[in-house]
Amino acid sequence: MTNHLGDIQNSKAIIIFGANPAVNHPVGFKHFLKAKERNNALLIVVDPRFTRTAAKADIYVRIRPGTDIPFMYGMLHLILKHGWHDEEFIKNRVFGFDEVIKEAKKWDPKKVEDVTGVPASKLIQVTRAYASRKPGTLVWAMGLTQHSIGSSNTRMAPILQLSLGNMGVFGGGCNILRGHDNVQGATDMCCLSHSLPGYYGLSEGSWKYFAHNWGVDFDWLQKRFASPKWMTTKGFTLAKWWDGVTQEEPIYSSSPIRVLWVQGNGITSIAQQEKVKKALDKLDLLVIAEPFANEAAILTDKENDVYILPTASQFECEGSVTATNRSAQWRSKVVDPLYESKTDEEIMFEFAKKFGFYDEFVRGMMMGVKDGKAVKVKNTFKWPEDATREIARIIKTIGLTGWTPERLKKHQENWHMFDEVTLKGIGPMAGEYYGLPWPCWTEEHPGSPVLYNINIPAKEGGMGFRARFGTEYKGVNLLAGPAATIKGAKVEGGYPELTKDNIEKVLGIKLSPKEKEIMGKNWKVDLSGLIAKYALEAGVVPYGNAKARAYVWTFPDPIPKHREPLHTPRYDLAKIYPTYPDKKNQYRCDTKFISIQKTDWSKEFPINLVTGRLVMYSGAGLIERNSKYITQLEPEMFAHINPELAYKHGINDGDMMWIYSPDGAKIKVKAKFSYSVSPDRIFLPFHFAGIFEGKDLSDKYPEGLVPYAIGESANTVTNYGYDIITQIPETKAGLCRIEKA
């Protein structure tokens, strides 16, 4: 989130693309409702289904899955045509907008209607309503990301906001509602295969910075890999790990995957379950660290070398987590780990001991900084405080330096001392924002409640856009214009990222020889903290002040472009808006795009398949399906189906029906009549497992551990399809065929 949930109360208009907060963020959703009640905010919901969130909306837009880019270009088309855009903002703070204008010109309301299924009059109504109320906030979640063009969707939405000058203002911004309670923290720590923590990437330079901070030899670290090459090469993703085992598509790795270690994933939540099952069956070893009987172990026919390590839950451990708005929260232990279960960190420590690298694994927690260098300062560590200190010491990129355990605990103890709309503290917490939302540049900095806000001083959380991509591209200046000066800054307009070499010139200061000696090469690796200190003294932030890039020259589509889903019900449009060429070696395996789309699947599989969430279940659903009471609320897997579609297939409310996927998989589920879906699509929740293609797997659970509810996983029939950049599965747009069972 660029802003935060409470700040939505400052919005005059809220437009939601592909999120259903009434169901998935019901506590956060109260801020949306307060915005309506207190600020007379207008709520617009764009979703292929009429959701519970849509039920609270002033305007509901039923869109065809995977066509948000044409819809947003349609909005831009009208915004530009009527001059509703913010010219000053674009001039000073956006790069490459001309290219966007060219594309937007093509998307007149009639054409948008044809592609998206949204009547032209509705597009005009929505655009006028949204553009005329400022500030407006744009909210999205999985409905935008889980597509083969997911990454383009997530660029299109900010472009829309930039055009209206809705970025970097209270009540505005792009507010992406995150998933699990600490998913922001998990992302920031890069529990991902393409980066080191803090988004430092995988370059040798980054590894060296971490090796130094962990107190280990770079050479030792490099020798952990089959060869140096693999150290700087992206790994497999969770979405397509199965390919690393089955090698259905060519892989590019030092060896196939033979062991799967699962710690905190349901596995049945991954698309293409038949492929997942094949891979599970073929593994040498499957280890699952879990509080429950994880259904990966149930799905597989593998009989030996499957282990479940009883793991403690979040209530049995302590430490910092990061909320959806970048605020840190300290969490206390409620009870000690029950029975023989161990906490996640204990399991990892034991693992490191067995494999002989425990000392190296924990040394980072015993390090501190002296004269700009990381040095060992003690011989023991205290969990989790020293882990938090390690994070604060190393992660400069997103500004975690200010997150000391002492500050975070003080925030936890003073929850009642913060205002929910501004996050500002009072009394003992005056001068700080709740949870010190990152970037929190120094131990004195209050945190940044709203990203890219140049209207408040840097010392109070102000900043421009990060100057991440140099100072110019093909002779065009990438830095912010003069009107984008951060309030109270000594440096006018844009400036580059601060380095040891440019800091004196940019800030107009003189460093002492000692300061020069201990200062890091640039702000991202400056352990001395001097760059952040002098930046804030000059009223700016270390990461520069640039234009936001609407045009990204390194991406396959430099500006977002509509491309039909791999499986589209409008095959005529796939010819006009084809998907990408197949991609070689994407996260160590090939990914198919056009070779899937070259077939017209819609003839045999004419129905759109949309998947998503229910309020009483989470993720793979195992936790709640183990609750006798929660399962009473929704005991069975089902498909929402419009009666008109159902009757065509002789299906009655409550009948069982088969759903077939183009990949040859099938599931048997209960038909539930609902007008939330139109007759051209069905909706499946993805929270069930334990039944696979009609076969009940109850006998495979350990004795006494069959959940109160089991069912088919929607992911058995989610289609092949992955995002071109991130490889997130296309679980929000696919096709299927149905039959009465």
Rounded to the nearest 10 degrees, the angle between the axes of helix 385-394 and helix 405-413 is 120
Identity (one letter) of the amino acid at 731? Answer: T
Among 179, 235, 310, 578, contact with Mo ion (rule: CB under 5 A): 179
CA–CA separation, 45 vs 60, rounded Å? Answer: 5
Among 546, 733, 736, 738, contact with ligand MGD (rule: CB under 6 A): 733
Binding region for ligand MGD (CB under 6 A) out of 44-52, 164-172, 501-509, 571-579: 44-52
CA distance from start to end of the chain? 44
Asked whether position 368 contacts Mo ion by CB under 5 A, the answer is no
Asked whether position 264 contacts Mo ion by CB under 5 A, the answer is no
Among 142, 159, 525, 637, contact with ligand MGD (rule: CB under 6 A): 142
Binding region for ligand MGD (CB under 6 A) out of 311-319, 444-452, 515-523, 568-576: 311-319
Copy the structure tokens of residue 214: 């962990």
Residue of 367, 362, 369, 447 lying closest to 403 (CA atoms)? 447
CA–CA separation, 437 vs 408, rounded Å? Answer: 11
Q: Which is nearer to Mo ion, 25 or 411 (CB)?
A: 25
Inter-CA distances, 568 with 48, 453, 528, Å = 14, 40, 54
Look-up: residue for tokens 């009394």?
A: 427
Asked whether position 712 contacts ligand MGD by CB under 6 A, the answer is no
Q: Which is nearer to ligand MGD, 618 or 631 (CB)?
A: 618
CA–CA separation, 662 vs 719, rounded Å? Answer: 7
718, 729 Cβ separation under 8 angstroms:
yes
Least separation, in Å, of the C-beta of 47 and ligand MGD?
5
427, 342 Cβ separation under 8 angstroms:
no
Least separation, in Å, of the C-beta of 315 and ligand MGD?
9
Asked whether position 290 contacts ligand MGD by CB under 6 A, the answer is yes
Asked whether position 266 contacts ligand MGD by CB under 6 A, the answer is yes
Asked whether position 735 contacts ligand MGD by CB under 6 A, the answer is no
Asked whether position 51 contacts ligand MGD by CB under 6 A, the answer is yes
Number of residues that bind ligand MGD (CB under 6 A): 55
3-class DSSP assignment, residue 458 = helix
Asked whether position 442 contacts ligand MGD by CB under 6 A, the answer is no
Least separation, in Å, of the C-beta of 411 and ligand MGD?
22
480, 93 Cβ separation under 8 angstroms:
yes
Asked whether position 344 contacts ligand MGD by CB under 6 A, the answer is yes
Among 66, 158, 405, 447, contact with ligand MGD (rule: CB under 6 A): 66
Among 39, 125, 247, 263, contact with ligand MGD (rule: CB under 6 A): 263
- What is the pattern of x (binds ligand MGD, CB under 6 A) and - over residues 563-592? ------------------------------
Least separation, in Å, of the C-beta of 272 and ligand MGD?
10
Asked whether position 662 contacts ligand MGD by CB under 6 A, the answer is no
* DSSP state at residue 497: P
Alpha carbon 327 to chain centroid, angstroms: 15
Least separation, in Å, of the C-beta of 511 and ligand MGD?
45
Binding region for Mo ion (CB under 5 A) out of 147-155, 178-186, 412-420, 672-680: 178-186
Q: Is the dihedral of CA 411, 416, 420, 425 positive or negative?
A: negative
Among 13, 15, 44, 63, contact with ligand MGD (rule: CB under 6 A): 63
- What is the pattern of x (binds ligand MGD, CB under 6 A) and - over residues 595-634? ---------------xxxx-x-xxxx-xx-----------
Q: Is the dihedral of CA 253, 256, 260, 265 positive or negative?
A: positive
Q: Decide which of Mo ion, ligand MGD, none touches 374; Cβ closer than 5 to 8 Å per partner kind.
A: none
Least separation, in Å, of the C-beta of 178 and Mo ion?
7
Among 12, 49, 549, 625, contact with ligand MGD (rule: CB under 6 A): 49
Asked whether position 300 contacts ligand MGD by CB under 6 A, the answer is no
Q: Which is nearer to Mo ion, 179 or 368 (CB)?
A: 179
CA–CA separation, 733 vs 150, rounded Å? Answer: 11
Phi, psi (deg, nearest 5) at residue 375: -135, 155
Least separation, in Å, of the C-beta of 163 and Mo ion?
28
Asked whether position 14 contacts ligand MGD by CB under 6 A, the answer is no
Inter-CA distances, 437 with 31, 420, 533, Å = 18, 13, 18
Asked whether position 718 contacts ligand MGD by CB under 6 A, the answer is yes
Buried b (16+ CB within 10 A) or exposed e, 381-417: bebbbbbbbbbbbbbbbbbbbbbbbebbebbeebeeb
Look-up: residue for tokens 């000073």?
A: 92
Asked whether position 136 contacts ligand MGD by CB under 6 A, the answer is no
Least separation, in Å, of the C-beta of 376 and ligand MGD?
30
If you count them, how many residues does the chain have?
741
Copy the structure tokens of residue 149: 């063009």
Residue of 85, 306, 323 lying closest to 185 (CA atoms)? 323
Q: Decide which of ligand MGD, Mo ion, none touches 327; Cβ closer than 5 to 8 Å per partner kind.
A: none
Residue 320 C-beta-side C-alpha neighbours within 13 Å: 30
Asked whether position 499 contacts ligand MGD by CB under 6 A, the answer is no
629 contact partners, CB below 8 Å, separation of at least 6:
none
CA–CA separation, 600 vs 272, rounded Å? Answer: 20
Alpha carbon 114 to chain centroid, angstroms: 30
CA–CA separation, 721 vs 277, rounded Å? Answer: 18
Asked whether position 179 contacts ligand MGD by CB under 6 A, the answer is yes
423, 398 Cβ separation under 8 angstroms:
no
Asked whether position 256 contacts Mo ion by CB under 5 A, the answer is no
Binding region for ligand MGD (CB under 6 A) out of 309-317, 401-409, 655-663, 702-710: 309-317
Asked whether position 275 contacts ligand MGD by CB under 6 A, the answer is no
Buried b (16+ CB within 10 A) or exposed e, 702-737: eeeebbebbbbbbbbbbbbbbbbbbbbbbbbbbbbb
Q: Which is nearer to Mo ion, 25 or 666 (CB)?
A: 25
Asked whether position 422 contacts ligand MGD by CB under 6 A, the answer is no
Asked whether position 294 contacts ligand MGD by CB under 6 A, the answer is yes
3-class DSSP assignment, residue 674 = coil
Number of residues that bind Mo ion (CB under 5 A): 1
* DSSP state at residue 114: H
Least separation, in Å, of the C-beta of 619 and Mo ion?
7
461, 510 Cβ separation under 8 angstroms:
no
Under the rule (CB under 6 A), what is the footprint of ligand MGD? 17-20, 23-25, 46-49, 51, 63, 65-66, 68, 141-143, 146, 177, 179-180, 263-266, 269, 289-292, 294, 311, 313-314, 344, 610-613, 615, 617-620, 622-623, 686, 714-715, 718, 731-733
Under the rule (CB under 5 A), what is the footprint of Mo ion? 179
